Structure 1
Amino acid sequence: MPRNYVRKTNRQSWDKDSMLKAIADVKEGKCGYLSAAKKYDVPKSTLEHRCKDGNKLFQGTSKGLGSRQTTFTIDQEAKLVAYVKSMDGMLYGLTTTGLRSLAYQYAESNDIHHPFNHESKQAGWDWMRSFMSRHNLSLRSPEATSEARARGFNRQSVSSFFDLLESIQDAKKFPTSRIFNVDETGVTTVQAKTSKVVSLRGKKQVGSLTSAERGTLSTAVMCMNAAGMFVPPMIIFPRVRMKPHFKLGAPPDSLCVTHPSGWMQSHLFEMWFDHFLKHTGSILSNPALLILDGHKTHTKYPCDTKGKRQWSYHIMLATTL
């Protein structure tokens, strides 16, 4: 059977709603098979078989492919879909190989007759494509999501975050140009591409748990406001000493620093905060709302013993997300 089947006859071209009404009229005794078939423009023989439940393969208004049947029943496929969605929700989405192996194991363990390959112990590509098409699934490239972030993303944490954000916004009425968000991202010299996983078509975000980073890591600190304005980034290179050529190709006014680990540190975040104040002009008469995560380097910065820095000038909203 071809992958993209093109219908060559008019068989089973009748409308499901019309067939449903015809069956109802016949069973209620309003008219006979021939009259109902003409009234609703459905095949008389098909109507008769459906009314008498003479079709062992299809009941009611369901349609099929003649003698060709799916390997699994509707209920069995529903269980497979539920498992796929469950694994995707827990950030352990199935790859194409994983889905095909799962289908083979499911058929074998339940003594279901199947045409799958016994050597590779996997379902075929055609079965996988048809299965995904029937249940609105597609292949998506997942985002690498750490285990700590996955644990922190729950209903209670999200609700607390938005409750706090709403209370501050209601009190201060910050315009979009004064609401900023900052976060770090790691840039490695060895960029690994994750395999695509099966997920619901149209889903906004798909994640996948990853192991520790590999390769040489540099950290880029990115900050922008709700109006689309960016603060020049801060780049942390995994070096002991700063070299002038590290800045080559960096965006104008970028803050380039070094640390042996290449990761964010408390004193480096303090340097970035000064960088943020400089480019946003945040003062008492022009405050800003800075939204950041609850990493210890963001919340446990060194105190200014001279008292020159007044942190109360600026509202920082920290959360574990």
Structure 2
Amino acid sequence: MENKEKEYKKKGSWNETNLKTAVDLVLTKQMSLRQASVKYDIPKSTLHDKVASLNAGKEVSFVPKMGRFSKTFSPEYEELLVNHVKDLSNRCLPLMKKEFLKLAYDLAVALNIPHRFNCEKSAAGKHFYYDFMARHPDLSLRTPESMSMMRAVGFNKPQVDLFFINLDKLMTLYNFSPSNIYNCDETGVSCVQKHQKVIAPKTVRQVGKLTSAERGKNITILFCMSANGYFIPPFFVFPRQRMNDRLMINAPAQSIAMAQPKGWMNSDFFLQWMKHFTKFSHPSKENPVLLLLDGHSSHKTLDVINFCREHHIHLMSSPPHTTHKLQPLDRTFMKPFKNAYHEQCDMWMRANAGARITDYDIAGLVNGAYTKSSSA
């Protein structure tokens, strides 16, 4: 005889009408407890509890309850709590899970609402948290990105409005096409990659993964992209005294590189990049180009401004401390590129066991990540 798996009813799967009917039939002795339970698909224990409560003269609710815990807050107060959580997140002050549970407890106490929260810890419990998050799928537990106070204060309506007013004036005056609107931005890469999440046994307390070194040098790369998705070949700045052609082995086609002891972009290098940019963007009096960039000091020297005027390149800088919101490359390209670069480093480490990534491998790794990110 084959063993059949026992089927379990989902909690609260019965409806209010069936429960009332089943209870009435049992109370009037027209049907036994077992018969009513089977016919109306209601757990026998639930039906027994309702009948016993009514026989004892107690008030009974026929509305299904999911599990042991019912909702603590009414829909109005819960909506208030949700809006407060969202408002704090928009102000760059999001709540941690522990802070949220403490807030829920304080709200219940302040409103004198009956609850089953932990009074010793002065916090709501995990059941409340999971039920609350299930009822509000637009909220989730996220890992926040660090943001300085200057960025939080700098990104405000007057600053942003002024930026778009000036942008609108330029667009009206020159009518730039998408192929003539560019955005450039620098980022840094290192031979010490960041790791993605990995699969490992649960019993292992600490999971290790090889990196090339404890600390790595920072190589600056300047990327530039047009509004229609055309990329200017990258510009590298290596932290070295003198440039070596071997550093650009397997680099992206037609990209160029410079050497600087600290690997930083400076005004001379940016002017060199402007010449590189002009070679591929082909600006002219009949076909001017708009270049959006940040307000770094290397972008605003007299030599750069004169060069742009001579070659019909119109520079426009985003307001201070707003690039995390207004810089197109920051919003679309940089994160996929960084993720792809770290993946390339991991693959290189697996393919070259016992070796470490050096400056001479960086260009090739960047090429793989750049090709993947720019064509996505």
Q: Do these two structures clear the TM 0.5 threshold for a shared fold by scoring above it? A: yes
Give 2:71's aligned residue.
70
CA deviation string 1:7-27 (max 9, x = no partner): 4212279xxxxxxxxxxxxxx
Selected match of 1:150 from 152, 163, 172: 152
Task: Assess, with a 3 A threshold, how the Cα gap between structure 1 residues 242 and 101 changes in structure 2: closer, same or farther.
Answer: farther
Task: Assess, with a 3 A threshold, how the Cα gap between structure 1 residues 275 and 124 changes in structure 2: closer, same or farther.
Answer: farther
More strand by share: 1
Give 2:14's aligned residue.
9
CA deviation string 1:216-269 (max 9, x = no partner): 433322211111101112233334443444334432222323334433322222
Amino acid at match of 2:318: T
Contact kept, 8 Å, 1:267 with 1:302, in 2: the verdict is no
Give 1:317's aligned residue.
316
More helix by share: 2
Q: Does 1:124 align with 2:109?
A: no
- Structure with higher Rg: it is 2
The CA RMSD over aligned residues, in Å, is: 3.8
How much does 1:181 deviate? Answer: 1.1
Distance 1:151 1:311 in 2: 36
CA deviation string 1:76-96 (max 9, x = no partner): 433432332122112232333
CA deviation string 1:56-95 (max 9, x = no partner): 999xxxx873895323344443343233212211223233
Which stretch shifts more, 85-94 or 176-185? 85-94
Contact kept, 8 Å, 2:220 with 2:236, in 1: the verdict is yes
Ranges in structure 2 where 5+ consecutive residues have no aligned partner: 1-9, 19-58, 197-214, 323-376
Give 2:344's aligned residue.
none
Give 1:173's aligned residue.
175
CA deviation string 1:174-233 (max 9, x = no partner): 11111111122333546499xxxxxxxxxxxxxxxxxxxx97433322211111101112
Distance 2:81 2:219 in 1: 41
1:271-286 aligned at under 5 Å gives the runs: 271-286=272-287
Give the TM-score taking structure 2 as reference length.
0.55
How much does 1:285 deviate? Answer: 3.7
Distance 1:146 1:12 in 2: 57
Task: Assess, with a 3 A threshold, how the Cα gap between structure 1 residues 147 and 217 changes in structure 2: closer, same or farther.
Answer: farther
Amino acid at match of 2:158: Q
1:1-321 aligned at under 5 Å gives the runs: 7-11=12-16, 65=65, 68-104=69-105, 106-107=107-108, 113-117=114-118, 122-135=123-136, 136-187=138-189, 189=192, 191=194, 216-299=217-300, 301-303=301-303, 310-311=309-310, 313-320=312-319, 321=322
Partner-residue secondary structure (3-state), 1:65:
coil
Partner-residue secondary structure (3-state), 1:94:
coil
Distance 2:167 2:157 in 1: 15
Contact kept, 8 Å, 2:293 with 2:315, in 1: the verdict is yes
Give the TM-score taking structure 1 as reference length.
0.63
Partner-residue secondary structure (3-state), 1:137:
coil
How much does 1:280 deviate? Answer: 1.2
Partner-residue secondary structure (3-state), 1:187:
strand
Partner-residue secondary structure (3-state), 1:148:
helix
